[in-house]
Amino acid sequence: MKFQLFLTKHTNQITLVTGILIVLGMLSKYLLQFTLGYQVILAVASIIAVIPIAVRAWSALRNKVFSIELLVSIAVIGAFIIGEFNESAIVTFLFLFGSYLESKTLQKTRTAIKGLTDMSPTTATLVTDDGTEEVDVDDVDEGDVVLVKTGSQVPVDGIVVEGNGYLNEASITGEARQINKQLKDSVYSGTMVENGYLKIKATQVGDDTTFAKIIELVEEAQDTKSKAEKFIDRFAQYYTPAVLVLAVLVFAFSRDFRLAITVLVLGCPGALVIGAPVSNVAGIGNGAKRGILIKGGEVVDTFAKVDTLVFDKTGTLTEGNTAVTTMHTYTNNADNQLALAAAIEGVSDHPLGQAIVSYADQQSVGVAPVLDDTGTVKGQGICAQVGKQEVVIGNQKMLTAHNIKLNPTQLKDLNDLQAGGQSTVIMAVDGQVQLIFGIADTIRPGVKDSLAALKAQGIKKLVMLTGDNELTAQAVANELNLDEVHANLLPEEKVEYVKKLKAAGNTVAFIGDGINDSPSIANADIGIAMGSGTDVAIDTSDVVLMQSSFPALVHARGLAKKTVSNTRENIFIAIATVAFLLIGLIFGYIYMASGMFVHEASILVVIFNAMRLINFQTKFDKQQPTKTIQAATA
C-alpha cells in the first residue's frame, strides 16, 4: 500500500524521467549511432514507466476489475518479448502523460466546489460575558451569539439579535448584490458583511448550516452517475476481457504477435470511460457556480427530457407579498388622502393594510395626519375620526354598513379590479369615496420572458396549480400566457394532478417553494425548489434554485439539455476513435505508438469538449446580467 501511494505521489516525476530517457535514447541512436545504448535506455524507460501502470492494474485485478492499465501492462510485456523497446517506452510515456493531462483538466471542471470550499468560514468571534473571543467555527454551538464586522464572513446560520449591515449572499444564492439585514432577519453561513456589524444568534452550526449542505450536495451530485455513465461502467466490465480475448484470437489465427499486442493498445477504452462523467461534472459545476444545485447526473438526464412544467403560484410565479398595483383617485388632493389611508392602516397588521402603508412610503406622501380615534370592524375594515372628518376604509360591506354608495364610474373601476383577480380596499371621507386600491401578489420579475424562453427550449405545456381563488389564478395565468390553470386546490389535490400528468405520458417538473409544495415536488419526475435553501427545499427537490429566479430556471433547463448533448458527443468521439484505429490497423497505417498517441489525444478531446460546459450560457442568459459566485468574490 505504501509503495502504491509513493508511486501515485510521484507519477509526474516518473513521467518526466521517462520522457527524458526517450529523448536520450533517440539522440543515442540517431546522433551517436549507438544502437545498443538506445535499446538499453528505452528498456529502462519502459520499466520505470510501466511500474505505476502495472501496480494500478494489479490493484484493480485484486478487486476483480479488468482495467485499462491491464491492457497497457500486457502490451508492454509483449513489446519486450519481441524487442520493441521504443514502442513500449513511447506507449507507457503517452499513457502516463495522458493521465497527467486528464487529471489537470478534470480539476478545472470542479472549480465550483473549490470556489465554495474556499469561502467556508473557519473562525468565529464568539460573544461571551467577558467580551468577545476568537474561536474555531466548530466550537460554536446552537444558541451562541457571534459578532460579525465589516469584511468578515458569517460563520453560522442564525437570526440577527443586534446591529444592522449589508450582506453579500452570493455564496448562497449565486447573486452578487448586497442585502440589508436588520433585527430578526435570517442570515446564512458563508455570506459576507460588506458594511455594518451584526450580532447573530446561531440556529444551525457546522455541517448543519445551509452553506455546508450546499457544498455536500454539489460534491454528491458530481459523484452521482447518469444513465449513460452507468451503462458505460457495465460495458467496461465486459469490454476489457473481450479485448484480451480478441488479442489472443488475432494471434491464434495470424501468428502475428506484434499485431496482437497492437490490438491490446488500440483497445483501451479511455475516451469512452471518461467522456460521460467529465460532462456530468462540468455541467453540475456550471450550475453550482450560478446558485443552481442539480443533484446528480440522473437528474440532468431526466430534466433534459421534461416537457411539462407545473408551477405553484404564491411564492413561485409571484413574490408572495401583496402590493398595491392600482390606485383610483376621485379627489384633487390624492397625496393627502393617501397619507390619511396609510395612517389609518398603520394601526392594523392586515396584509392589505400593510400593502397600502408600503405604497404610501414609496410615494413619499409626507407627514401622516393625527388620528383622534380608530375602531376595527371585523371582516370589514377600520373607522377613524380625524379632526371633524369621519373616515371609513375597508371592503364593500364596510361601505354598505355606513350607507355609502359608489357612483357608476367608481363601481366600474371596482368591478374591473375584481375581475382582474385583485383584492380591493375603498376609502371614504364624510360619506364620499376618495380612493379605491387594487392590491395583488406581484408577479416575479422576468417571469413572462423566462416562460417564453422555456417554451423555446422545447417545453410543451405550462400549468399552474394553486390554492387561490379562480379569478386571481386566471388573472395571473392570462398575464403569463399559461396553458392551464387549476385553482382552489389542496396540497393533496396538487399531488393527484401531478400523478395524472405523469400517467398521461408527460415528463413533469414541479416548481414550488419547497415547503407547502414538498409532496408535489417529491412526486414529480423532477422537483424544483425556489428559495434560499430551506431544509425542506434541499432535501425534497432534485434541483434547488438558490436565487429564486426564473432566469435561473431557464439556465438550468438549457444546461441539462446541453450536458446530455455533450455526453452524447463524447461517446460518439470515443466510438469514432476506436473505429478509426481499427481501420488504420487493418490497412497498415496505425502502429502501437501511433495508436496510443491517437488514443490519448481522443481522451483530451472529450475532456476539452466537456469543459465547454463550464462557461455555458443560453441565449436567454446573454440578455441577463451575469451573476456568479466568482464575480461576487473577485
d(CA 255, CA 63): 32
Helix (H, G, I), strand (E, B) or coil at 619: coil
d(CA 428, CA 465): 37
Task: Give yes or no for a contact between 385 and 373, defined as CB atoms under 8 angstroms apart.
Answer: yes
For residue 204, the surrounding DSSP H or E stretch is strand 192-204
**Which residue, 495, 503, 496, is CA-closest to 512?**
495
For residue 159, the surrounding DSSP H or E stretch is strand 157-168
d(CA 566, CA 560): 10
The count of other CB atoms within 10 Å of the CB of residue 334 is 16
Provide the grid cell at 294: 442539480
Burial class from Cβ neighbours inside 10 Å (0-12, 13-18, 19+) for residue 275 reads buried
| Owner of C-alpha cell 546522433 | 31
423 Cβ contact list (under 8 Å, min separation 6): 322, 352, 438, 439, 440
445 Cβ contact list (under 8 Å, min separation 6): 549
Distances (CA, A) of 370 to 389, 429, 467: 12, 15, 40
d(CA 427, CA 437): 8
Catalytic residue among 144, 157, 312, 525: 312
Q: Work out the angle at residue 441's Cα, subtended by the Cα atoms of residues 436 and 444, and round it to the nearest 5 degrees.
A: 135
d(CA 562, CA 559): 5
CA max distance for the chain: 117
Give yes or no: 233 in active site.
no
**Which residue, 284, 292, 194, 226, is CA-closest to 533?**
292
Task: Give yes or no for a contact between 549 and 443, defined as CB atoms under 8 angstroms apart.
Answer: no
Task: Give yes or no for a contact between 261 and 88, defined as CB atoms under 8 angstroms apart.
Answer: no
In the chain, the amino acid numbered 422 is Q
**Which residue, 229, 281, 287, is CA-closest to 555?**
287
The count of other CB atoms within 10 Å of the CB of residue 24 is 16
d(CA 460, CA 483): 9
d(CA 622, CA 285): 19
Region at 432 (left for phi over 0; alpha for psi -120 to 50; beta for the rest): beta
d(CA 523, CA 627): 31
Task: Give yes or no for a contact between 552 and 249, defined as CB atoms under 8 angstroms apart.
Answer: no
Cβ density class 153-171: b for 16+ within 10 Å, e for less? bbbbbbebeebebebbbbb
Provide the grid cell at 88: 513500449
In the chain, the amino acid numbered 566 is N
581 Cβ contact list (under 8 Å, min separation 6): 266, 590, 595, 598, 599
d(CA 210, CA 438): 38
**Which residue, 96, 136, 607, 510, is CA-closest to 303?**
510
Query: Which residues are identified as catalytic?
Result: 312
